[in-house]
């Protein structure tokens, strides 16, 4: 019997599309199920019913939805009966959470509209100089170039010579041949975490760390996976000060966060002052 009711409800969802809008509006408040004093309406099912479902799938979906709704209402009813002492506390929590959601959403909207998000290089440098000691490294950084390629290349000797060269034209030549390499990095002006380097080049995990972390160090290695060429341009060790170009993104986020907090404080103060001025806030 229950399954027949579900089928009828589902068919009405589809048939209703063919009737005038006036009829559809009358159907919106049509009850589908009831648990104690809580009612589930057809419009609620219509809002979540996936379009283009086969008839059988629609029947199953509606049946599952109604059963799930009924279980939730029954559990809620039992909870309200058996947790009367906690009801006031729960209602306060719900009220506080609702208020917090609204307030935070409003704050984010205000910040989105009013926050100055432009952070200049001068502002980043000024913050970096003033907070220099806060940027000590807790891990090693390296500047390097490397490539990983097939070890049986006929031009291996010429490739090694080209890789070891410091000429800009030779670096450009390598850049044009990147499709020949399994992996590579020719931008030796950026700083890379040592651990990220190990994750990128497996063979280094078995090498002595001290032998790797040397300035102007050239490394050449062959294994079953291919030929590795690495030139370590520069190294920064733990507790040294991180370079400004490495921490610039972090500094930018710090500056923006400070601006956000200052803006929110100003908004709250202005709101309070306006309320006092307009006699919307009084203390007794």
Predicted confidence (pLDDT) per residue in 131-165, tens digit = 999 999 999 999 999 999 998 899 999 999 999 99
d(CA 279, CA 284): 13
- Kindly report, as residue ranges, where domains of CATH 3.10.50 are found in the chain: 137-236
Residue range 11-21: mean pLDDT, rounded: 48
Q: Is the pLDDT of residue 267 over 50?
A: yes
* Phi, psi (deg, nearest 5) at residue 117: -95, 5
Pairing of strands 141-149, 192-193: antiparallel
d(CA 252, CA 231): 31
Residue range 61-88: mean pLDDT, rounded: 86
Lowest mean pLDDT among 56-65, 82-91, 108-117, 190-199: 82-91
d(CA 100, CA 266): 19
Lowest mean pLDDT among 15-19, 44-48, 122-126, 133-137: 15-19
pLDDT at 8: 44
Half-sphere exposure of 124 (CA within 13 A, CB side): 16
Q: Is the pLDDT of residue 17 over 80?
A: no
- The class that CATH gives domain 137-236 is alpha beta
For residue 137, the cross-strand partners are: none
Q: Strand (E) positions, the chain? A: 31-35, 38-41, 141-149, 183-185, 192-193, 217-223, 226-236
For residue 209, the Cα-to-chain-centroid distance in whole angstroms is 34
Label residue 1 by pLDDT band (50, 70, 90).
Answer: very low
């Amino acid at each position: 019997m229950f399954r027949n009711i579900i089928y009828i409800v589902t068919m009405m969802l589809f048939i209703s599309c063919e009737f005038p809008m006036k009829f559809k509006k009358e159907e919106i408040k049509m009850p589908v199920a009831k648990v104690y004093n809580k009612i589930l309406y057809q419009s609620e099912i219509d809002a979540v019913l996936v379009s283009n479902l086969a008839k059988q799938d629609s029947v199953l979906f509606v049946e599952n939805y109604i059963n799930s709704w009924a279980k939730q209402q029954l559990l809620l009813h039992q909870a309200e009966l058996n947790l009367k002492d906690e009801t006031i506390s729960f209602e306060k929590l719900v009220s506080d959470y609702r208020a917090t959601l609204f307030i935070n959403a409003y704050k984010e909207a205000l910040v989105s509209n009013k926050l100055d998000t432009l952070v200049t290089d001068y502002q980043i440098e000024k913050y970096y100089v003033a907070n220099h000691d806060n940027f000590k490294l807790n891990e090693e950084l390296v500047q390097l170039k490397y490539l990983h390629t097939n070890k049986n290349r006929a031009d291996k000797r010429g490739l090694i010579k080209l890789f070891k060269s410091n000429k800009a034209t030779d670096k450009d030549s390598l850049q044009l041949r990147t499709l020949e390499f399994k992996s590579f990095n020719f931008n030796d002006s950026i700083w890379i975490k040592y651990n990220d380097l190990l994750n990128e080049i497996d063979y280094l995990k078995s090498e002595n760390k001290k032998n790797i972390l040397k300035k102007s160090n050239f490394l050449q290695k062959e294994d079953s996976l291919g030929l590795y060429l690495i030139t370590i341009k520069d190294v920064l060790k733990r507790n040294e000060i991180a370079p400004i170009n490495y921490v610039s993104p972090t500094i930018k986020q710090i500056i923006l966060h400070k601006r956000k907090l200052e803006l929110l404080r100003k908004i709250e103060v202005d709101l309070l002052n306006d309320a006092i001025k307009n006699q919307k806030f009084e203390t007794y």
